[in-house]
Copies of this chain bind each other. A is one copy, B any other.
Amino acid sequence: MPVPESVAIPEHAHDILTDLPTGHLATLRPDGRISVNPVALVFDGSHVRVSTLKSRFKYRNLLRDDRISISVPHRNNPNRYVEIRGRAILEDDPDRAFVNEIARIYMGADEYPFDQPGDERVTITIVAEQVSAPKIPLASDPPGAPDAS
């Protein structure tokens, strides 16, 4: 299945997405609450991708409801961030190619070392529908003073 195009992410924010960021991925739970928790991610210039396991809540949440959002702060400056809202596309990662790509980028390892036998990897592709990458006060300052609002 071809992945739909994403809304473009402004170029001034691309470095946020490629400098080993930790994103905070939000999905909707069956009880109506929002799940939000940290993830590694890969940005290929158009889409953000994340790896998960079929045993995780986020996978089950997204199977049921494909709405997804992610907040990605710059690794060294939380005043700079990108927020992406859109839809998730789920694809099996049977040869673990994508999770191993994450391991190479984030850990300098050839293989992601923490999975257990039987763990089934899935790649989440975020098709962006809305993107926010504001330039806010202190944007050029060091960390320690995220926006109060």
Residue numbers of A with Cβ under 8 A of B are 20, 22, 24, 26-28, 32-40, 51-53, 56, 58, 67-71, 73, 75, 78-79, 81, 83, 85, 99, 102-103, 106-107, 112, 114, 129-130, 132, 137-138, 143-149
Contacts and interface: CB of A to CB of B under 8 A. Distances in A.
B78 A147 contact: no
Q: How many copies does the complex hold?
A: 2
A69 B71 CA distance: 13
A51 B148 CA distance: 6
Given A22-B78, A24-B71, A137-B114, A35 B146 contact: no
Contact of A38 (B28, B71, B85): B71
Contact of A36 (B36, B58, B106): B36
State the majority secondary structure of interface residues on A.
strand
Contacts of A83: 35-37
Contacts of A138: 114
Given A52-B149, A114-B137, 4 more contacts: A36-B69, A38-B146, A102-B148, A106-B146
A146 B22 CA distance: 6
Contacts of A99: 148
